[in-house]
Structure 1
Amino acid sequence: MKKVFGVIGDPISHSLSPVMHNAAFDHLEMDCAYHAFQVKGEHLREAIVGARYLGFGGLNVTIPHKEEVLKIVEGGKMASDIGAANTIDFRRMKAFNTDGPGALDSLQDNGIDVSGKDVLVLGAGGAARAIVYIMAISGARVTVLNRTEDKSLALASHMSMFGNVTGKGLGEIPTDVSASDVIINTTSVGMYPDVDGTLVTSDMLDSSQVVFDLVYKPLETRLLKEARMAGAKTIDGITMLVRQGARSFEIWNDVRPPVDVMERSVRDVL
């Protein structure tokens, strides 16, 4: 019988997860299917319990449910430390966070070792939580910048138990950008339809830096264009999307997924 997997969120029609997971299943000739399901917050518990008893292999969890899912499913250590999960494995009935490891994989695949580096994280939302955590435990010195300074301070305060993390507002962004080895944008600034938006411009950057933008619609954001103008190394949002998905795939199936196939399928769609 075909094993079913899926992603739940609200909204969900934009998700590219079905594209990449089904490409991986087809490539490996696995009798599985992956679908997207819109689930309202008030029905989250019923959706998870129902999927479990219907025999689903696993679920991805996206906005706005990543924190609430931990009230329903026990989290692994990383998910519990971060306070958010994006993957449920029904075999173990446990929730995991693959966002942080996916971001680290993306950097390592591009030859970037963050240990001992100054990493600047723009934003203090759910994606930022996972990335700040993985950067901190990997030995980076992390600075979190957010428009609402209280949010960056609160995130930094929580994550400082795992490593060297500080929080600030955006008031000194040119100085903070210039002082960083790696800049990671976790905000929606520059996402379609507001494609002209960016928090960082080329005059703040130089060729020694790495700029990683989690936004992937458009694929080349204004931030990445500015970074290229300065000669900085750039990493687009598809890399993390695919690598966090590959981590989920391996958790569910104990099989190393064809990351290249998954990435090509998503880039072809975009």
Structure 2
Amino acid sequence: MTISGKTRILGIIGWPVEHSLSPLMQNAALEEMGLDYVYVPFPVREEGLGAAIGGMRALGVAGFNVTIPHKTAVIPCLDRLAPEAALIGAVNTVKREGDDLVGYNTDGVGFLNSLRDDLGFDPAGARILLLGAGGAGRAALASLCRAGAAQVLIANRNAERGEGLAEEFRSFFSGTQIAAFGLGSPSVTDEIQKVDLLVNTTSVGMGDTVFEGLDLSLLKPDASVYDMVYAPWETPLLKEARRQGVRCANGIGMLVAQGECSLEIWTGKVPPSGVMKSRIWAALGR
């Protein structure tokens, strides 16, 4: 890849962001496609988000991904939202369109694709427990409801935030029963025994952080666990799932699928299949 005065800039903002595998896979795809772009990480603290977006405008950045903790906070900094991002209320992809910065969300599509490819899981008619009510949780909830889930339960540390999300989405998806409760409440123990899928949408698992009091031995033998965290490769949640003999997967598949969608939004071209995933697996020695 040769950088010149004509090279266009793409990137990812988040905090922390040094663990991100997006630069590896996006630059591999851009090089394979012969496009004159470069994709770089931008570490942005919460208090610096507004200034960072202003900098993106001033520098003429062509587009960027948004990760934790900015997926909802970035919205007031943008000019408009695509319909999917407006419904979800979170943004993971921003594209410069003329003078405007437009927010998109590709997390939901990436999540469903990974459930299908990595777990062989179809949400239609299923009971699902979501851990977290942030930007990734909103995208997961919307995609699961659209896919015909019978019930989605939200367990969040801040119970009021979880209930607010449930109430908001009930008006859009009457065909799915949506409920919420505190992550440490007895309801978690009651409901985890009945679900077909447990999904972590939070950053818990990075740095070996753990969910206290979450007993995976209560899961049904045919249940599955999906952890959106992918660094480390096997989080404490996934280690425990494997120990219990529960089918499980990390967020690499989702990362790749949403990244392919983002690159198509930015460039108008479909990235070659398998290039992003191969680059990540090679880097991780998998």
Residues 1:129 and 2:146 are matched in the alignment: no
Alignment length, in residue pairs?
266
| Equivalent residue number for residue 102 of structure 1 | 110
| Equivalent residue number for residue 200 of structure 2 | 185
**Pairing of 1:26-175 with structure 2 (within 5 A):** 26-39=31-44, 40-51=48-59, 54=60, 56-71=61-76, 72-91=78-97, 93=100, 94-110=102-118, 111-140=120-149, 141-163=151-173, 164=176, 165-170=178-183, 171-175=186-190
Which structure 1 residue ranges, 5 or more long, are not aligned? none
Which structure 2 residue ranges, 5 or more long, are not aligned? 1-5
Range moving further from structure 2, 128-137 or 83-92: 83-92
Contact 2:195 2:220 in 1 (8 A): no
Following superposition, the deviation at residue 23 of structure 1 comes to 1.1
Q: 2:256 aligns with which of 225, 242, 246?
A: 242
Question: Alignment partner of 1:172: what SS?
Answer: helix
The one-character-per-residue Cα deviations of 1:96-121 (angstroms, maximum 9, x if unpaired) are 01112211111122322111111110
Quote the RMSD (CA, aligned, Å). 2.1
Question: Alignment partner of 1:90: what SS?
Answer: strand
Pair 1:183–1:153, CA change in 2 (3 A): same
| Equivalent residue number for residue 21 of structure 1 | 26
Contact 1:242 1:263 in 2 (8 A): yes
Following superposition, the deviation at residue 254 of structure 1 comes to 2.4
Paired with 1:87 and 1:122, the residues of 2 have a C-alpha distance of 23
Following superposition, the deviation at residue 80 of structure 1 comes to 0.9
The TM-score with structure 1 as length reference comes to 0.89
The TM-score with structure 2 as length reference comes to 0.85
Paired with 2:14 and 2:205, the residues of 1 have a C-alpha distance of 22
The AA in structure 1 aligned to 2:245 is G
Pair 1:63–1:108, CA change in 2 (3 A): same
Q: 2:246 aligns with which of 228, 232, 236?
A: 232
Paired with 2:14 and 2:153, the residues of 1 have a C-alpha distance of 29
Contact 1:98 1:248 in 2 (8 A): yes
Residues 1:263 and 2:277 are matched in the alignment: yes
Paired with 1:89 and 1:240, the residues of 2 have a C-alpha distance of 20
Contact 2:49 2:74 in 1 (8 A): no
Pair 1:82–1:240, CA change in 2 (3 A): same
Paired with 1:79 and 1:193, the residues of 2 have a C-alpha distance of 31
The one-character-per-residue Cα deviations of 1:208-232 (angstroms, maximum 9, x if unpaired) are 1111011112211222222223332
Following superposition, the deviation at residue 197 of structure 1 comes to 4.8
Question: Alignment partner of 1:211: what SS?
Answer: strand
Residues 1:211 and 2:190 are matched in the alignment: no
